[in-house]
Structures are given as C-alpha cells and as structure tokens.
Amino acid sequence: MIAPPTQPKPSSWPISIGAEGIAAAQFARCGFDVLAQAGRDKPWYDFAVTRAGSMMKVSVKASEDGRWNLPQSFARRGPEMGAKNIDCRSAIDFWMDSQGSKTICCLVQFEGVAINQLPRIYLAFPNEIAFEMRLASERTGQCALQELYEWASPEGKTEVGSLPPTWRFSQERIQELVDRHNGPLSAAGMPPRSVAISTATAMPPRVERLSGIALSA
C-alpha cells in the first residue's frame, strides 16, 4: 500500500553547509579545483569546479529524509484544484528554468547514514531531475524528487521506483557530465529512465533498504 503524501522536511542550514563541503571534497578527490563562494547570498549554484580547462557550476541539494523538495518555493495553487493540491508540473518547470541548463545538481542524501559514513551522492542535470520529478508525481501525487518510492501500476502491481543508478557519484558519471556539458546545449540533461522494480511483497523500511549502499568516488 502506498503511503499518503507527507510534507517533506526542509534541510537545515548546517546540514546544507555540511553537504556542500562534502560535495566539494569529493570533487577535489577526483582531481578538480574547487572555486567556493562565500556567504549565504549565492546565485543558483554553490561552487564551480575546473579541470583541464573545463569549468562546471555545481548546485548542492541536501536532504535527511529520502527526498528533495526542490519545487516547493515555485508551487502555486490552481483555482480549480483542491486546497491541498498544487500545480506540480508548473512548479517543476519553474524550478528547472531557474537552475541554468548546464548547471550540475549534486544531490546529497543523509537518511540512514551513520556518522562515520559518507552520505549518498548523485549527480544530474536539471532536465534529468525534472523528468524524474514529473514521473514520480504522476505515480504518487507527491511534488518532490524521491530517492526511493512505492507506487501502484495500472495493473494493480506494487512497483518500486528509484533514482537512476547511473547518477551515483563516480569518476565515470563525472566524465559523462563533463562531456555533455562541453557538447551542444541539447545534449545536456537528456533524461534516462528511472528504475522501476516489480515486487509482490511490501517494500522494506527505507532506512534498512538504503543504509547499506556505499558511495563510489
């Protein structure tokens, strides 16, 4: 059974700062020079990374509850919709347009992560993220990017959706994004399909399911 939508927990300022530092350190470990910005009033990105003459702007998104409520500030209510509903598709489009087509989004997830472990990190273009949010919202009615979620197919089967495994932070994923970043504008952010797993049993608790995933760097 799919759980009813819940209000995503906003990430605190200290968690966001911590996520930014961890992300910057991981890029540095991969041979990038990191150009950090000072202060809280930043543009749409948090820092830039350079290597071999290529520069990319990185926007870090932190979460502690398995989801990133990215379109929240762009959400608006339609007059024909219920009081509890929002125009999710428009909110997602507004969020995507605000990010810059070639900005790299670095998604940092702390849910179920022990204090002596690195959080799970994903890398994606805004177009890719918008695609996944639209897909998940159609399946679950929740206007957020979700790391792992359960939904019911038209055939009545219980399915499990998740972020594409290829988004995980790795040298290979970074090189893929660098190549697309330096290529034609239309090549950036082409969305891959998300993972959907059919299951006849209930999905195990989120923390137990995800806590064993190791970060590749």
CA–CA distance, 154 with 202 (Å, rounded to integer): 17
Which residue has tokens 């702007």?
57
Give the residue extent of every domain in the chain. 13-210
Global confidence as pTM: 0.77
**Which range among 1-5, 60-64, 95-99, 124-128 shows the weakest confidence by mean pLDDT?**
1-5
Give the pLDDT of residue 12: 77
CA–CA distance, 144 with 163 (Å, rounded to integer): 12
Q: pLDDT (tens digit, 9 = 90+) per residue, 106-164?
A: 999 999 999 999 999 999 999 999 999 999 999 998 899 999 999 998 888 999 999 99
SS3 168: strand
**Which range among 11-15, 75-79, 166-170 shows the weakest confidence by mean pLDDT?**
75-79
**CB-based contact 108:132 (threshold 8 Å):** no
Q: pLDDT (tens digit, 9 = 90+) per residue, 4-53?
A: 444 445 557 789 999 999 999 999 999 999 998 876 667 789 999 999 88
